[in-house]
């Protein structure tokens, strides 16, 4: 799963620390007029800082050297300092009866903080060091056997390609040798983060994170559970089928025919997506996925041509073409003369029309889909560019990823025919194989996307204590994913720290929401396009009606609560996972047939 940097909207600042006390005259009862003036000044200040910081970050990513890194870090410090100061000042207006838009801006300022430190300079500095130390430990992590050291990239490649159970177990266990040293730091980070959250008026850090979803934090937790329960039977059917295939491949001694699946057999270091082992479970006589890579090579498409296909998709929906500056300033390929960050990302550098993508494009099917996804971010960024700066973001943190992924769902064989890459779409009866291949990633991910924050929320609340960090982690891995470790784990281990988002303090529920919302978006856009037929065959390419519906939602940014934005696109203010069931309906029926007589569940 790719993580994409979106240089638009409110910067997710992770730290808030102590600032000088306000003067007595500033503590006088504030007025609505003063609140409006404060927000106007805050917006102007943040716009200037975010623009220059974004440009520094762009240079740091496309010209990697010591100087560019120093400049980017300096601008980060300036931004963090400003947001800290403004967030504290915003507390002055707590309890004031403000117009809805101003009240929402104040809330956005406060909730821009992902990790609030206590209002004490020494504790702030301590938390800064802890977070930096955990990230550095993860980033520099290697599994060494004598002089032979392998990093995460090498170990992940082995997990994806090897079918040797002993080698898989070794790589899986080896990567987790990097994280026990984080355990003590993590416990202190929880303590300090909770203290900071409570000083801001939240019960704990998890409560603060859940407060950023336009609903009561406990109600949001219940909403996440409701969505999971909508798709859980489908996941269990996929789990049952995959387990049977792995049992046939490896035998009972490696993978029993019942119970959880061994975590290291699923082709991914965290068993979060299973697509790498699709060849082990691919059904015979159920069709094959279209080889888009071969089509692109045959068409002699280069990097820019790949992006032009993506732009043409949005133009067919009625969106304006990308500005000339996009083509002049984006990074489409890896330069020969310098080091760059190749991780795909979408950028808005001036909160207006300076849109860019940064990729090192390969002529492959995966990259073709990624381009459509990244441009989804860019068109979202441009659609909300008339909103105030604090509202230039997606409706909630799942929407941005969901929009890009919803567009990518329209990269179907029928779409490939329309743009001249494919002569004829495969006919009926061939949908099982491509749907299974897609489900091995998109459906397999759902419980993992859920449980990362389920674990952290319970740690922050104190339900899971330091003495059972690892046991509680595996309790949730088995409960939601139906997987188990290949070797015994104890409290001497700290397996949560072997997943980047935990030591880096990155909330994860957004990815679960994005996997749900993308299918809900897709179904509604197909309805707007007047499409009739199997949902997995729908492409909204060429539909002005779908484009108008999409733009209406995108243009709202985060100016209104996400249920209103969702309603603008789908006609419903409630997230709904049944679109996933509609999309994969043929596969679910086929899986049920394959699983007949099996003892499913774990």
Q: Is the dihedral of CA 434, 437, 442, 446 positive or negative?
A: positive
Q: Tell me, what's the pLDDT at 22? A: 47
In which band, very low, low, confident or very high, does the pLDDT at 428 lie, cut at 50, 70 and 90? low
Q: Tell me, what's the pLDDT at 18? A: 44
Dihedral of CA atoms 448, 452, 454, 455 in degrees, nearest 10, equals 130
Residue with the larger pLDDT of the pair 584 and 338 = 584
Q: Verify whether residue 184 is a known catalytic residue.
A: no
> Of 374, 406, 408, 568, which is the active-site residue?
374
Q: Tell me, what's the pLDDT at 135? A: 84
Q: Verify whether residue 400 is a known catalytic residue.
A: no
Residue 470: pLDDT above 90?
yes
Q: Tell me, what's the pLDDT at 429? A: 61
In which band, very low, low, confident or very high, does the pLDDT at 9 lie, cut at 50, 70 and 90? very low
> Of 43, 299, 501, 555, which is the active-site residue?
501
> Of 367, 401, 406, 408, which is the active-site residue?
401
> Of 8, 189, 303, 377, which is the active-site residue?
377
Q: Verify whether residue 77 is a known catalytic residue.
A: no
Q: Tell me, what's the pLDDT at 2? A: 40
Q: Find the angle CA(28)-CA(32)-CA(33) to the nearest 5 degrees.
A: 95
Q: Tell me, what's the pLDDT at 379? A: 97
Q: Verify whether residue 386 is a known catalytic residue.
A: no
pLDDT digits (tens, 9 = 90+) for 30-66: 899 999 999 999 999 999 999 998 999 899 888 888 8
pLDDT digits (tens, 9 = 90+) for 149-197: 998 889 998 999 999 999 999 999 999 999 999 999 999 999 999 998 8
DSSP code for 26: G
d(CA 31, CA 48): 26
Q: Verify whether residue 522 is a known catalytic residue.
A: no
Mean pLDDT of the chain: 90
| Alpha carbon distances (Å) from 70 to 49, 67, 373 | 16, 5, 31
> Of 271, 344, 528, 579, which is the active-site residue?
344
Q: Tell me, what's the pLDDT at 346? A: 92
Residue 29: pLDDT above 70?
yes
In which band, very low, low, confident or very high, does the pLDDT at 137 lie, cut at 50, 70 and 90? confident
> Of 125, 154, 248, 343, which is the active-site residue?
343
Q: Verify whether residue 343 is a known catalytic residue.
A: yes
Residue 555: pLDDT above 90?
yes
Q: Is the dihedral of CA 203, 204, 210, 212 positive or negative?
A: positive
Q: Verify whether residue 373 is a known catalytic residue.
A: yes
Q: Verify whether residue 374 is a known catalytic residue.
A: yes
Q: Name the pairing type of β-strands 143-145 and 261-262.
A: unpaired
Residue 596: pLDDT above 90?
yes
d(CA 113, CA 25): 27
Residue 575: pLDDT above 80?
yes
Q: Tell me, what's the pLDDT at 267? A: 94
List the single range of 106-115, 214-223, 509-518, 559-568 with lowest mean pLDDT: 106-115
Contacts of 293 (CB under 8 A, 6+ apart): 363, 364, 365
CB neighbourhood size of 533 (10 A): 9
Q: Tell me, what's the pLDDT at 20? A: 46
């Amino acid at each position: 799963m790719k993580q994409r940097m979106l240089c638009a909207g409110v910067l997710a600042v992770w730290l808030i620390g102590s600032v000088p006390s306000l003067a007595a005259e500033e503590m006088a009862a504030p007025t609505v007029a003063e609140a409006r003036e404060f927000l106007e000044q805050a917006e102007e200040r943040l716009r200037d800082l975010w623009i220059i910081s974004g440009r520094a970050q762009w240079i740091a990513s496309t010209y990697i050297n010591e100087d560019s890194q120093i400049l980017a870090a300096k601008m980060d410090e300036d931004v963090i300092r400003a947001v800290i100061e403004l967030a504290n000042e915003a507390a002055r207006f707590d309890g004031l009866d403000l117009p809805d838009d101003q009240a929402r801006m104040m809330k956005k300022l406060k909730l821009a903080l992902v990790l609030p430190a206590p209002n004490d300079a020494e504790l702030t500095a301590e938390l800064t060091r802890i977070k930096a130390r955990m990230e550095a430990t993860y980033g520099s992590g290697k599994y060494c056997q004598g002089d032979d050291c392998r990093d995460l990239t090498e170990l992940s490649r082995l997990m994806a390609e090897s079918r040797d159970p002993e080698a898989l177990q070794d790589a899986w266990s080896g990567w987790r040798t990097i994280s026990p040293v984080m355990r003590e730091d993590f416990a202190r980070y929880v303590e300090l983060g909770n203290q900071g959250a409570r000083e801001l008026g939240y019960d704990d850090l998890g409560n603060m994170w859940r407060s950023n979803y336009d609903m009561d934090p406990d109600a949001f937790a219940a909403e996440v559970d409701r969505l999971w329960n909508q798709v859980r039977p489908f996941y269990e059917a996929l789990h049952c089928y995959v387990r049977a295939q792995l049992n046939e491949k490896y035998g009972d001694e490696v993978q029993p025919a019942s119970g959880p699946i061994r975590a290291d057999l699923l082709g991914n270091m965290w068993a979060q997506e299973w697509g790498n082992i699709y060849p082990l479970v691919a059904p015979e006589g159920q069709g094959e996925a279209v080889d888009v890579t071969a089509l692109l090579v045959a068409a002699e498409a280069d990097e820019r041509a790949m992006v032009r296909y993506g732009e043409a998709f949005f133009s067919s929906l009625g969106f304006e073409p990308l500005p000339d500056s996009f083509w002049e300033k984006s990074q489409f390929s890896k330069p020969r003369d310098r080091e760059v960050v190749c991780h795909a990302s979408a950028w808005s550098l001036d909160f207006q029309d300076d849109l860019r993508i940064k990729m090192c494009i390969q002529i492959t099917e995966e990259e073709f889909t990624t381009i459509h996804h990244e441009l989804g971010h860019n068109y979202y960024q441009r659609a909300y560019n008339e909103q105030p700066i604090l509202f230039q973001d997606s409706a909630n943190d799942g929407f941005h990823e969901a929009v890009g992924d919803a567009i990518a769902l329209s990269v179907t064989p029928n779409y490939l025919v329309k743009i001249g890459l494919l002569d004829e779409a495969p006919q009926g009866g061939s949908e099982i194989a491509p749907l299974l291949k897609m489900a091995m990633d998109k459906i397999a991910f759902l419980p993992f996307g859920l449980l990362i924050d389920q674990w952290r929320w319970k740690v922050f609340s104190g339900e899971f204590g330091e003495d059972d960090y690892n046991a509680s982690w595996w309790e949730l891995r088995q409960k939601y994913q139906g997987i188990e470790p290949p070797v015994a784990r104890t409290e001497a281990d700290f397996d949560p720290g072997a997943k980047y988002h935990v030591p880096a303090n990155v909330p994860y529920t957004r990815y679960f929401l994005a996997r749900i919302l993308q299918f809900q978006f897709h179904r509604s856009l197909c309805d707007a396009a007047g499409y009739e037929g199997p949902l997995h065959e729908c492409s909204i390419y060429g539909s002005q009606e779908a484009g108008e519906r999409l733009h209406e939602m995108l243009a709202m940014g985060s100016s209104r609560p996400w249920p209103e934005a969702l309603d603008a696109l789908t006609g419903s203010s409630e997230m709904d996972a049944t679109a996933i069931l509609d999309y994969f309906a043929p596969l679910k029926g086929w899986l049920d047939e394959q699983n007949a007589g099996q003892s499913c569940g774990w």
